[in-house]
Structure 1
């Protein structure tokens, strides 16, 4: 018997060594695959031995920086098309000691939804097949699966009724699951709040493989998943959202001003005006090179917008010639169509799920709570003349955002915030030294002008530079999590860690910036009478 076992082990290692990451993973991954193959159709499972594994893994990778030969990749990809498949994956994963990461759109700026920043054995659940959107036009609600994109959601809502919308982000290929999990900043947030402020219910698979809704998960967990970041509390399969009304036509404009045309004066004024404008008007600013581009979306008519701008920001010299009246749906695709060099239709812009592996990016974020002095903007613009310079985008808060309590959702950046800054560095190929050096140095420089104690950041603009979890005794430390967690969530971090301790005390759903459970951590005996079993083994065996 011993000889046979030894021979079986040799054969197993020989077969898997070309497919899996490391020898320690063989036993657990083999057991997982045997378990999951009994529960889901074989065509939904891709191991590293499959010829199309790489293509499936790359299908929604949005940043090739995390798709190199040195990237720690999953040992398998599961593409579920039913909630039962997700439940089976969680139960098999816990039973066999294999953790899962979950991807909806692949836009995690650090790629943590499909790769690991440190050596680790894990599998990937890609929710791209779960993308159903169901509209209830009488209740002004919709159920949307996490694998749908923002563009698909916008398109489906507006095609059902062009005067109905949903407040969310601007890039149509963003996955609903990750976007909602972190907050959902967008062009209508000053009028209607973030995406998470308009979520009514959700369906989640927890660490025990149970499928829960708001009533069965409880209000604490429902609070946590609306803004507490992805990958911490379970796998949200779908969301019930409240839809909002928009006029038949909205008005947009885009006006660029160079330094010679007074960009600094306008920008200095915008800092005070942007957050205090009527809530149905949003004006963002993009700084690159030696110019500032002011882009607006107004839930109203051109004549009304011209009058408001004449009163509030006359320095921009906005006139009716700058107006672009269009439907709300058209406005959601405008920036994407403009950014693309191809002549594409509205449908192509909003419904395309194609990805590009040509441009590498790195992103950071800040919140501004006191207007940056006019004299400082000249120094700031000088950074955009340097080697490797990228760009920054400023998005004002105020309006309804300022009236929502800090603790209403995990997203705490409400009252007192003037605007959020997104810093973006990009480069071609696998270099990027100049771009990342520029970004890091510029970010350090901006520390003089942004929030502090803590220096706030937005979890949907994930940044591993601000800290990573330290794992001890197979559980992430809540103290190490505070380093980065209080920057994303401020005073809400403690409550998130408490919810984690209840919902997932063994820290099964874990990544480098997942919420750690607040200590003390349960012992082996809390989960299984046999302490030799896997730490995060479920209480009940697989049926």
Structure 2
């Protein structure tokens, strides 16, 4: 393994390194009451950047980035405080104080974590604080000559897209469709999106990063080494440190992008079309991505983005996917930036381009539960018929989102980044259940998603049954209460997310954070090799 700890950047690092050297190599006792931590913060961070539970606006700050109201209840473990850093030194101080005083950190960028692990703990006794990088660390700095950009982890995907395209409308970045998602979390898990078949995942285009590690050092790519740089590009958030910013390589896009949104009911042949889509979508030209949303009303919505004009798209569809019956009347031509904001691609509400892309808020009226699967062999027509007729006729039925792989994704080795779901994957399934937080529909929605997930086990990837870490799901396994994990005897939830890359991630963790300071219910644990002596 390569050198994982390098020289820190000249940014108050020597002070923090010396300070940390005086404290224990591991975090202090987990039963800390937090008073020492808060006092430590007051000495190193401006008081107006730290919100304690006694602060009058603590709740407002806490809820500002929560996207799922089921994690904002009286039963949800609340953080000791929220740190809203204005620069890297404030994050370094939080790490140093946390290590010394026995308080762990959870890092929030956009608050979209499906299990809320960026701002809550599933263990009521845990004493923790939240570092909310989305409060201030949100800058996007585009270098037009290099065709690169530095983006802070607290920026949203929409803010990144807007800044890039306003600088040059013919460049873009391949990332997700939901514009309110924070860059930090999205990049940490891989970053799938509508252009991944052409340009890969978000992590495939990351060329540098700045991270505060468990020692409180601020490191760039050269300082952290290639193993740690590999791990943070898809290994999931909350395991290796606090990534403050990312340098990304931008990609070229044409002046005209075409999108379409075609709905088909079962009576209109949705089952046959969807069955055919499974073989067509991963093998289409990489300029064209068609995802499918299956939802109530026994309906499938085929949503497409083509990096080109309508005429060429219609010709391609007529040759390769005539079953959908697409015509020029279905085309909507626009710029790439407009396609990233249109409701036909995302679920954003109508509004101006700026309103849609720069909006950071979300409704707290609807609770959600998500799960995921990967499909490597097409699901049969009979299975789809049962899915439509049985599962989408139930009370509490939610939505399936099917996003195709293929194209560029097939050219990247599974070990190139921690995201292993590459060659041979037809598409990823995202299961979503919804219910009104104040209503009584939660039981039906949870029963629906759990039952459908069990049913789908026979049709999706196996050994292991795979999952996408950015669609976080605690149902597939958790670390022990102390954050440890038995690789030999425990349920290998990490292999569901990372397959053969899981052990390498744990090896990196054992070097850069051997005492497991950065941990949560599904963080990467240090790999502890065991040997058996023969007497």
Task: Please say whether Structure 1 and Structure 2 have the same fold, judged by a TM-score greater than 0.5.
Answer: yes
SS in 1 for 2:186: helix
Write the deviation string for residues 207-243 of structure 1: whole angstroms up to 9, x where unpaired: 0000000001000000000000000000000000000
Match of 1:488 among 497, 502, 512: 497
| 1:434 paired residue number | 444
Deviation at 1:429, TM superposition (A): 2.0
Write the deviation string for residues 440-465 of structure 1: whole angstroms up to 9, x where unpaired: 00000011110010000000000000
Matches within 5 A, 1:2-401: 28-119=33-124, 120-128=126-134, 129-289=136-296, 290-335=298-343, 339-340=347-348, 343-382=350-389, 383-401=391-409
1:499 aligns with 2:493: no
- Residue 303 of structure 2 contacts residue 345 of structure 2 at CA under 8 Å; is this kept in 1? no
SS in 1 for 2:449: helix
- Residue 178 of structure 2 contacts residue 347 of structure 2 at CA under 8 Å; is this kept in 1? no
Write the deviation string for residues 218-275 of structure 1: whole angstroms up to 9, x where unpaired: 0000000000000000000000000000001100000001111111111111100000
- Residue 341 of structure 2 contacts residue 348 of structure 2 at CA under 8 Å; is this kept in 1? no
Question: How far apart are the structure 1 equivalents of 2:120 and 2:225?
Answer: 31
Deviation at 1:339, TM superposition (A): 3.8
| 1:470 paired residue number | 480
SS in 1 for 2:453: helix
Write the deviation string for residues 404-454 of structure 1: whole angstroms up to 9, x where unpaired: 000000000001100000000000025400000010000000111100100
- Please state which structure has a larger fraction of its residues in helix: 1
1:445 aligns with 2:455: yes
Deviation at 1:30, TM superposition (A): 0.8
Deviation at 1:344, TM superposition (A): 1.5
Deviation at 1:520, TM superposition (A): 4.8
RMSD of Structure 2 on Structure 1 (CA): 1.5
SS in 1 for 2:44: coil
| 1:511 paired residue number | 520
Question: How far apart are the structure 1 equivalents of 2:30 and 2:58?
Answer: 18
Question: How far apart are the structure 1 equivalents of 2:344 and 2:30?
Answer: 42
Write the deviation string for residues 494-528 of structure 1: whole angstroms up to 9, x where unpaired: 0000000001000000000000000159xxxxxxx
| 2:466 paired residue number | 456
Relative to structure 1, the CA distance from residue 126 to residue 333 in structure 2 (aligned partners, 3 Å threshold; closer, same or farther) is same
Deviation at 1:337, TM superposition (A): 8.9
Moved over 6 A (4+): none
- Residue 138 of structure 2 contacts residue 154 of structure 2 at CA under 8 Å; is this kept in 1? yes
Q: Normalization by structure 1: what TM-score?
A: 0.89
- Residue 481 of structure 1 contacts residue 513 of structure 1 at CA under 8 Å; is this kept in 2? no
Question: How far apart are the structure 1 equivalents of 2:467 and 2:313?
Answer: 32
| 1:13 paired residue number | none
Write the deviation string for residues 60-115 of structure 1: whole angstroms up to 9, x where unpaired: 00000100000011010000010000000000100111100000000000000000
SS in 2 for 1:461: coil
SS in 1 for 2:351: coil
Task: Give ranges in structure 2 of 5+ residues lacking alignment.
Answer: 1-28, 531-535
- Residue 178 of structure 2 contacts residue 348 of structure 2 at CA under 8 Å; is this kept in 1? no
Deviation at 1:393, TM superposition (A): 0.5
SS in 2 for 1:423: strand
Question: How far apart are the structure 2 equivalents of 1:477 and 1:376?
Answer: 37
Number of aligned residue pairs: 496
Write the deviation string for residues 373-400 of structure 1: whole angstroms up to 9, x where unpaired: 1121110112111011001010000000
SS in 1 for 2:248: strand
Deviation at 1:326, TM superposition (A): 0.3
- Residue 284 of structure 2 contacts residue 320 of structure 2 at CA under 8 Å; is this kept in 1? yes
Question: How far apart are the structure 2 equivalents of 1:380 and 1:297?
Answer: 26
| 1:422 paired residue number | 430
Question: How far apart are the structure 1 equivalents of 2:476 and 2:369?
Answer: 13
SS in 1 for 2:432: strand
Relative to structure 1, the CA distance from residue 480 to residue 126 in structure 2 (aligned partners, 3 Å threshold; closer, same or farther) is farther
- Residue 198 of structure 2 contacts residue 287 of structure 2 at CA under 8 Å; is this kept in 1? yes
- Residue 206 of structure 2 contacts residue 247 of structure 2 at CA under 8 Å; is this kept in 1? yes
Relative to structure 1, the CA distance from residue 465 to residue 101 in structure 2 (aligned partners, 3 Å threshold; closer, same or farther) is same
Deviation at 1:178, TM superposition (A): 0.3
Relative to structure 1, the CA distance from residue 125 to residue 336 in structure 2 (aligned partners, 3 Å threshold; closer, same or farther) is farther
Question: How far apart are the structure 2 equivalents of 1:441 and 1:98?
Answer: 38
- Residue 340 of structure 2 contacts residue 346 of structure 2 at CA under 8 Å; is this kept in 1? no
| 1:537 paired residue number | none
